[in-house]
Amino acid sequence: MNFNLRLKQLRQRHKLTQSELADILGLKPTAISNYESKRNEPSFDKLIALSKYFDVSCDYLLGVSDAYLPVGGEVLDKDIVEFFNLYQQLNSSATEELKNYVHYLIYKQERS
């Protein structure tokens, strides 16, 4: 996944408009739109600010790594990353449904 898509996904997940994110970073309102449409790329300082704001690595933002966050110093395996990426695409109702289903699967597993 490319930077522009990762940025848009993170912004939407945090329920921010492009203008709101631009204000947070001290940018012009069109800057985020330009990043998301590949017209411009952020400076190193802005890339670092984005990674800090969204609490992700610069490698994740740039698409160098699919590991969203390290867990205990280890990179998540591909299945977990794929599941996480799918999870991020769900709305709040669907995430609740998924959580309930996972609890059911754990219950079922413990009973067998």
Over 60: is that where the pLDDT of 20 sits?
yes
Confidence at 56, pLDDT banded by 50, 70, 90: confident
Q: Which sequence spans correspond to the domains of the chain? A: 3-62, 78-111
For the entire predicted model, the pTM comes to 0.61
Strongest mean pLDDT among 44-48, 72-76, 78-82:
44-48
Question: 3-class SS at 15?
Answer: coil
What lies within 8 Å, CB to CB, of 72 at 6+ separation is none
**Could you give the percent of the chain with pLDDT greater than 90?**
58
Q: Kindly tell me the burial class for residue 54, based on how many C-beta atoms sit within 10 Å of its own C-beta (0-12, 13-18, 19 or more).
A: buried
Over 70: is that where the pLDDT of 71 sits?
no
Higher pLDDT, 53 or 68: 53
Q: How far apart are CA 109 and CA 112, in angstroms?
A: 5
Pick the CATH number of 3-62 from 1.10.10.10, 3.10.20.30, 2.40.30.10, 1.10.260.40: 1.10.260.40
H or E segment to which residue 39 belongs: none
